[in-house]
Amino acid sequence: MKALHIRQDRSRLLQEDPLPPAPGPDEVLVRMAYASICGYEILILRGQAAIPPNGVMGHEGSGVVAAVGSSVTELRPGDPVAILPYLSCGLCDACRSNRSEYCINAAQTVSLMQEYVLLDRRQAFRLPENLTLKAACLIEPLMMAMHAVRKARLSYGSNVLLLGCGAMGQIILKLVREHPVGKIVVVEPDAAKRETALRFGADVALSPLAGNVVSETLMLTGGFGYDAVLEISGDRESARRAFQLVARGGSVVYFGLYGMDFLLEVNLMSLYWKDATLSAVAVPSGCFPDALRMAPRLKLEEVITGLYPFERGVEAYQEKARGGHAKVMLEFSKEGCV
């Protein structure tokens, strides 16, 4: 089978790998249908994050069950599934307290940029009838976005600021729009993404490159700031700016990827006065079923701006790294190789 690898020098190549073995009693073999590129993988390509142990990329994907183990009764060959690439241990205090997102032993156990994957049965989720395989590829990022929005503590009439409106910003915007909030403002340098933000329900979309974006953004709230600020861009200057824009008693959620060496300075006296909450987002694997139920109403396919055949995966990563796209997705051949 074909698999997309990254070498130690950060170059990519499509190569032939052995097929996975037949599934064990509690395992499921899945033929991949779609896999999408995460911003974290762009950090890997730039040398700002670690290469996966097996060298294979990918943790967002969907597929079709090819075979099941002898103990698996909830799935059968031909079922479309969304894939949760992580597993928690089930034994640590966090897992036993029903907080698996804080499992101290959690790990990504499978890489999805390959034609077939062998999963623990707990990692394969059959799709509802009203969800496509293409949309199901985005359940993992939707799960992350839902966790971020929960941490933003939205309430009736909240003014919300999104810093960045790439793929994750667009998904978060769709989720925020589901809440009875007040004004939604987006700050995004790319003109096409600003237009998308307005189409997806933002009230105002500003460029950080024109004028004094802090003053202009604050003026939209009468100078009081925003009840919820979600920093999604991964831009370090934007990360520093986020705290300036939060209202007293508000929340700042850091969702973007800033590299392993970025240190954020916070004026604690300002934090005391604002009585604001600063938080970040871990991998909330326990939210996957919630995301699967939420997905059909969000039209997730709208955030896909690039669709490439898997054989052109190296080119797809190059295109994503240029920064113009929201979500770039790879489509696997529908012809099986077993």
- Domain with residue 100: its CATH number is 3.90.180.10
Same domain, 317 and 215: no
CA–CA distance, 239 with 243 (Å, rounded to integer): 8
> Tell me: the pLDDT tens digits for 144-166?
999 999 999 999 999 999 999 99
Give me the residues paired with residue 328 across strands: 306
Same domain, 185 and 59: no
CA–CA distance, 241 with 202 (Å, rounded to integer): 20
User: What pLDDT is stored for residue 336 in this prediction?
Assistant: 47
Same domain, 182 and 73: no
Quickly count: other Cβ atoms within 10 Å of residue 19's Cβ. Answer: 14
Question: Is position 252 within any domain?
Answer: yes
What are the start-end ranges of the H helices in the chain? 39-45, 93-96, 133-136, 139-151, 167-177, 191-199, 213-219, 236-245, 268-274, 288-294, 313-321
CA angle, 14 then 20 then 23, to 5°: 150
Same domain, 187 and 127: no
CA–CA distance, 57 with 46 (Å, rounded to integer): 14
Whichever domain contains 245, its CATH number is 3.40.50.720
> Tell me: the pLDDT tens digits for 24-82?
999 999 999 999 999 988 888 888 888 877 788 899 999 999 999 999 999 999 999 99
User: What pLDDT is stored for residue 335 in this prediction?
Assistant: 61
Question: Is position 290 within any domain?
Answer: no
Q: Are 251 and 227 in contact (CB under 8 A)?
A: yes
pLDDT band with cut points at 50, 70 and 90 for residue 122: very high
- Helix, strand, or coil here: 247? strand
Same domain, 198 and 325: no
Same domain, 8 and 117: yes
Inform me whether the pLDDT recorded for 337 exceeds 60.
no
H or E, element range at 180: none
Same domain, 255 and 318: no
Same domain, 215 and 172: yes
Question: Is position 229 within any domain?
Answer: yes
Question: Is position 215 within any domain?
Answer: yes
Same domain, 266 and 310: no
Residue in this structure with the two tokens 């037949």, named with its chain if needed: 22
Same domain, 129 and 194: no
* Residue 59 identity: H
Same domain, 116 and 164: no
> Tell me: the pLDDT tens digits for 83-115?
999 999 999 999 999 888 889 898 888 899 999
Range of the domain at 309: 2-137+299-331
Nearest to 145 by CA among 330, 329, 326: 326
Give me the residues paired with residue 108 across strands: 86
Mean pLDDT, the chain, integer: 93
* Residue 63 identity: G
CA–CA distance, 18 with 16 (Å, rounded to integer): 7
CA–CA distance, 207 with 218 (Å, rounded to integer): 14
Number of domains within the chain: 2
